[in-house]
Structures are given as C-alpha cells and as structure tokens.
C-alpha cells in the first residue's frame, strides 16, 4: 500500500495523485520555499488505522509539512488530500475531524481549563466537555489554574486533551512529547494506543524522541534538509538495514552498493548497510531507528 520514498536512496516513488480509500492523508510533490530553507517534493500517505512517525533533525521540515496539512502554510506546489478532499476544499466539519498538537501550546494561556472548555464548545462542532475534563483529570491538570501557570509538559497535555476531545479521527501531532518526562511521555503514548484502538483512526506524529516512535509507530517517515529520505514500515526497516562494525580496512571489502553511510573512528569503522547485500562473513547488528536516522543524516557516503 505504501511506497518507499527516498530522495537519496529509494528507487520507488509514491503513486502521485490518486487517493485511496484506505488513506486519511495523501501528500504528493509538496514544495514550499522560504528564505534559506525549502521543502522539496515531499510525498507520503497516512493509512487509516496506522501511526506514522515523522522523524528528522530540527529544521528538517517536519513542522512545515504538518502546518501545510493543517492549512496554516500555503504550499508553492504539490497536492495535499485529507479524507479524500483537497486541503483547500476542507470545510469546518472536515477540519474538525483533525486533532492537532502544534509545537507550541497555541491555546489561550490566560484562561483556566473551564474557560477553555467554554471557548472550545463554540470552536468545535462535536466538542465533548466531559471527555476534556476526563483527560484533564487523567493528566492531573489543575482546573482552577491558568494555562500560563502550567509547566511546559502540562501545557502539552492540555493541547493533547483538546485534540482528543472533539471526536477527531486523525491526529497530527508536532512534537507532542517535547518537554515531558519519561513517565508523562509514557502516559501520552498510552493515550495514543487507546486512540488507535479504532481502525478508523490514524496518527501522524513527529518527535525527536525516536524511542517513543519505535514503540508506537507502524511507519516511519524520515525527512532531511526538506527532502523525504524514506517512508517505510517500521518492521521493514529492521529487515532492510543493519549495522556493521569492523576495522576500517575490512569495511573497504564491502560492495559500495551495500553501504548507505559509514563513520570512521579511531578504533575502527561502522556502517549502515543493506542487510541483504552484505556477505555472511560480516557480522551484522540490528539498526535502531535512531541509528538509521543518524547514519542517513550525518554519515559519510561511499
């Protein structure tokens, strides 16, 4: 269903244009130019019932992509479809099917949770105040304090509580776990697991904390310098890539086509390789998503 996309590595590009019933999001050839940065030919899809983890360094283009999906940024070219409709044609009811957490809180910080409930009642068509306060209780958020008095982690939780309290089918989450301690991050992951109990739901989540995504995601979308490097099933990544650690002179014996990228160190070398192209004489290790990301982003190329 999904294609492997890779600005540098992959050979199969995603089918442009056609929207499949099984997808909640399809992005084709998205381009946006800013001074000093550009998003180039970004293509991927978010299947119904799946969690797509969006990884990349700071400034790689994750937030710009998510903002484009939310209609906050006008792309220079490319197509974005959500729920089978062009992004520009989405009405209020369609947009209400999306729950968003943006990098910052983006909620009125002078307000208490009760006030936020009152405001959201008029913003969303299917606002569920009870669900909102249930989440607030679950996240131990004080109802009588202003949002600006909350810690950063608590503010993130308020944003997530809002995103989950209006019957959204699709969550677009930009760094929802940023600033949270491991316990709070785990709570949020649990909430997202619960959300994904419905096969109709889908999540696109960006995070720097790759270990969180490793637990949660079905697919990994990796962006580097504004270009998609790959878009793969998480389990397929483990089968496709591996790490080889050996003396630098031994690494030279590897077929260059087998090496994605490598590091040279004082005590030897290590390389991210295509598992199926490495001879059995080389001992391979499992490559984590973080390893894959680091080698693609910072490793030397053959």
Taking the least distance from each CB to other proteins, the nearer of 81 and 96 is 96
Q: Which residues have CB under 8 Å from 174's CB, separation 6+? A: 62, 63, 66, 100, 101, 102, 103, 206
Cα–Cα–Cα angle for 240, 246, 252, nearest 5°?
Answer: 80
In the bound state with other proteins, the residue whose beta carbon lies nearer, of 87 and 232, is 87
Contact residues: other proteins, CB under 8 A = 67, 70-74, 90-96, 98, 100, 102, 104-111, 115, 118-124
List the one residue out of 165, 207, 157 whose CA is nearest residue 187.
157
Pick 66 or 184: Cβ nearer other proteins: 66
- Minimum CB separation from other proteins for residue 100, in Å? 4
Residue identified by tokens 């693609």 is: 296
Measured between alpha carbons, how far is residue 65 from residues 60, 206, 278 in Å? 10, 10, 35
- Measured from the CB atom, is 170 or 287 closer to other proteins? 170
Q: State the minimum distance, in angstroms, from the CB of residue 94 to other proteins.
A: 8
CA distance 27 to 68: 10
Q: CB-wise, 127 or 230, nearer to other proteins?
A: 127
Q: How far is the CB of 75 from other proteins (least distance, A)?
A: 10
Give least dist CB 166 to other proteins, A. 8
User: Is 289 within 8 Å of 250 (Cβ atoms)?
Assistant: no
Q: Compute CA distances 126 → 71, 80, 220, whole Å.
A: 20, 25, 31
What span, in angstroms and rounded, lies between the C-alpha atoms of 250 and 269? 9
The nearest distance, CB 91 to other proteins, in angstroms, is: 8
């Amino acid at each position: 269903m999904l294609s492997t996309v890779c600005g540098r590595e992959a050979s199969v590009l995603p089918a442009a244009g056609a929207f499949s019933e099984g997808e909640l999001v399809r992005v084709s050839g998205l381009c946006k130019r800013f001074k000093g940065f550009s998003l180039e030919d970004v293509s991927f899809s978010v299947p119904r019932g799946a969690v797509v983890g969006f990884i990349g360094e700071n400034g790689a283009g994750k937030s710009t992509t998510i903002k484009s999906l939310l209609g906050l940024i006008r792309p220079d070219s490319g197509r974005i479809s959500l729920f089978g409709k062009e992004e520009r044609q989405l009405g209020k009811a369609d947009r209400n099917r999306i729950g968003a957490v943006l990098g910052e809180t983006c909620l009125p910080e002078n307000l208490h949770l009760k006030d936020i409930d009152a405001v959201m009642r008029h913003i969303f068509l299917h606002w569920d105040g009870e669900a909102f306060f249930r989440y607030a209780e679950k996240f131990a958020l004080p109802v009588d304090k202003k949002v600006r008095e909350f810690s950063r982690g608590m503010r993130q939780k308020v944003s997530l509580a809002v995103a989950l309290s209006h019957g959204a089918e699709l969550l677009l989450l930009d760094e929802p776990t940023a600033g949270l301690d491991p316990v709070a991050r785990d709570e949020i992951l649990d909430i997202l697991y619960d959300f994904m109990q419905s096969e109709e739901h889908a999540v696109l989540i960006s995070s720097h904390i790759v270990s969180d995504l490793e637990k949660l995601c079905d697919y990994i979308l990796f962006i580097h310098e504004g270009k998609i490097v790959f878009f793969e099933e998480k389990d397929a990544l483990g089968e496709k890539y591996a790490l080889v650690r050996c003396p630098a002179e031994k690494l030279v014996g590897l077929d260059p086509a087998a090496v994605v990228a490598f590091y040279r160190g004082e005590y030897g070398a290590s390389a991210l390789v295509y598992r199926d192209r490495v001879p059995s004489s080389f001992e391979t290790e499992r490559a984590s998503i973080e390893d894959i990301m680091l080698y693609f982003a910072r490793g030397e190329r053959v």
